Chains A and B, each alone.
Chain A
């Protein structure tokens, strides 16, 4: 018989992952359900990666409180889980006396939110803090507690640690219906698989409204707000040492210049409300707009350094606050919805808050004496000197085999990622950085395909970029020829030639 889970979490983004990891320290059976092939493939993979300081949002909001609290939890989290995170600090730059007034207002908000070490700085100090800034800057706000993180690595580490502490992870598992039976919920997947759980946490990001509907719980409507970002190569001119913010406009924090932990640079995001929850396309107009806004702050940046661009969708609710509460309509359901920015920052605090809500709902929490808060350290070629690499390669030859030249990722690292369940190209890319550098997989893709095939036994034509429908190659050479033999000549075929597997239009 299948176990009945004490808590089922729907959605393995940063929110669900942080909750799962928090709950894994108690004597509970916990399951984490994710519709995508890998964790962190939703909003949590495509964002600015900033651990905000907490001076943007009004103290009366829930998100302001969780943002500041979340920020303060990151040092310990990093010490335990070892994901890439650095407190580089945030600068808000003003270019006019009016903008300085807004800076003062931000300072007031930050102080009310109890952001530590916040400081209004004059022209000279801001330019010495960040020499790459446009010399026309007149002053600004300095928040040294702000930081940057690699968001997917944070999620991977949280999930890995949660699993090590007993959480069951189900990927490619999409909740499609929920039925109340006695004191528990029967959860039914898109493919008809079922699991039972006494309590459920809805952390489904953009689809939290849909999931709420499955439980006949609160009715709300998540509005996606798109943000386009551009990633610039390492060594790009204009690389700042801090996160650079403009003085914010009404609805968003504006276009930022962001150093990443790995030494690349990001500019963006835009903020546009859209209809479709899977519309992550980017546009040329926004490219021009983002660059002109960013160049105003940091003149050195150049479009020539772009290595890729992407868009993420913020799951917003009217009123723009987080909605985190016990459902008033569905028993045993915790809603964690509207987790837009600063969701990444707030995640550890959200986890704490959800834990308290579950407790309030009667969930008994007993600490596990054998809870292990840390994950094992994985060796990475980029982090080693040659003597260390040689030493390691003596024991494991695959460390001396470089698979990704741009980011110096070895075969051993790729194999580790695969063994930890990351079997798509994107999953491996986010886990190891193979394919994330300047050549964008032009070199390593074929190597990755053969390693995935070897390690998993999967035929190459079933390996995907990021799960269902995203296969890389359509078959072996000769397959197209075979089409011709059986009369359905590809050359004369009008429509798309399906490769035999479902091509999903939307929804997965």
Chain B
């Protein structure tokens, strides 16, 4: 068994893991990254479309290009790297953690460290999660799997395709399939509004005349060995109206019905999770309720922009550095109020800069985002348009906070009106 000791171990070498590790390293601490794939970059490597890096680099890059900028820095930073290596277990206590992994090159690997950064990304929700009736033939893929098969392995998953769900991956894949000559018959979305980014609706569907059926469900998948069609049913006042069902014959169904932060390891390690996001509950330092275990990127909450995932991870890495150096700051709880589905983190530190990532429950024009402490509003911001699929990011400086009295809970509530 290979045994090593580091100040910090980062699990996952996607955008978040790399950005976090770089920040830890820049703070002068030793750090290792473990990833189960043979390469860095995570999900970015199969996202060969553009739209990455606009905030981070002020450029419009593809996923692999974005990743490459981090990879070259990681390789030169004196960070230990374990690729093709899957983390199986996190154990330990406040003082020290043990990350156990295994990989072809090492057998079992035991990494002892003072801080762990969770950066495992997320996985896709699948057919079972949305309980679609019908048969179980070949040809039903999650959109990300289809994307991987196409963009990394070079295979065509099918020729006549129906996409279920209007998440970003599904939209990107609708365009991608069309570009290689497959026919995308429909994108079917249960909600009355699309769940992907507005720019993707326009660039991936409208530009290619791919029909988007809002307030519709795929009520059944048919086909014995391979998919031969789907039944599509409109929702009338929220309920499927089967008298208006119609059939589309296709050989492939792609599911783009959401992502789930990949927290099996965290759960096993006893890290408390946040039901609103599926990620760990974290404090203002992006540290979970298990001391020394931090989280960032998609494992913490699903990001739509890699730029924000990377930014969050950098801040996480800096916080790990402060933790390792024993620097602390006072913090108070933060919670989601009216019309807010989730807010990350779950604490704020009034003496530092805080970045809040907020998802709304509602679709609205001219909304107001309001922050209140103990009933009085400390800050508000006008938002031209909000919808659940577009994350709201808010930066708070120490100057934004009133003098807070110790001994109070000083709960801050984020609400939308």
Contacts and interface: CB of A to CB of B under 8 A. Distances in A.
A163 interface: no
Contacts of A450: 153
B267 A390 contact: no
A476 interface: yes
B284 to A, nearest CB: 30
A400 B107 contact: yes
A435 to B, nearest CB: 11
Interface stretch (B131-139, B286-294, B347-355, B387-395): B131-139
A171 interface: no
A446 B129 CA distance: 21
Contacts of A411: 104
Interface stretch (B177-185, B320-328, B377-385): B177-185
Contacts of B126: 307, 439-440, 442
Contact of A465 (B89, B105, B131, B138): B138
A446 B100 CA distance: 25
Interface string A297-328: 00000010011111000000000000000000
B49 interface: no
A308 B104 contact: no
26 contacts: A235-B267, A280-B136, A307-B128, A386-B89, A389-B108, A400-B103, A400-B104, A400-B108, A438-B264, A440-B127, A449-B153, A465-B137, A465-B138, A466-B138, A469-B224, A470-B225, A470-B226, A472-B157, A474-B158, A475-B156, A476-B154, A477-B150, A477-B155, A477-B156, A479-B156, A504-B224
B209 to A, nearest CB: 11
A495 interface: yes
B155 A467 contact: no
Contacts of A445: 145, 149
B34 to A, nearest CB: 12
Nearest to B135: A281
Contact of B154 (A472, A477, A481, A484): A477
A478 B102 CA distance: 37
B88 A408 contact: yes
A387 interface: yes
Interface in B137-168: 137-139, 142, 144-145, 148-150, 152-160
B86 A470 contact: no
Contacts of B226: 469-471, 503
A436 to B, nearest CB: 11
Interface in B94-141: 100, 102-108, 110, 123-124, 126-129, 131, 133-139
A402 B84 CA distance: 9
Contacts, number: 183
Contact of A390 (B84, B108, B133, B137): B108
Contact of A401 (B84, B139, B152, B267): B84
Contact of B159 (A393, A446, A464, A474): A474
B123 A442 contact: yes
A282 to B, nearest CB: 5
B123 A472 contact: no
Contact of A461 (B137, B155, B159): B155
Contacts of A405: 36, 86, 264
A75 to B, nearest CB: 32
Most-contacted residue by chain A among B36, B126, B181 (CB, 10 A): B181
A493 interface: yes
Contacts of B225: 464-470, 503-504
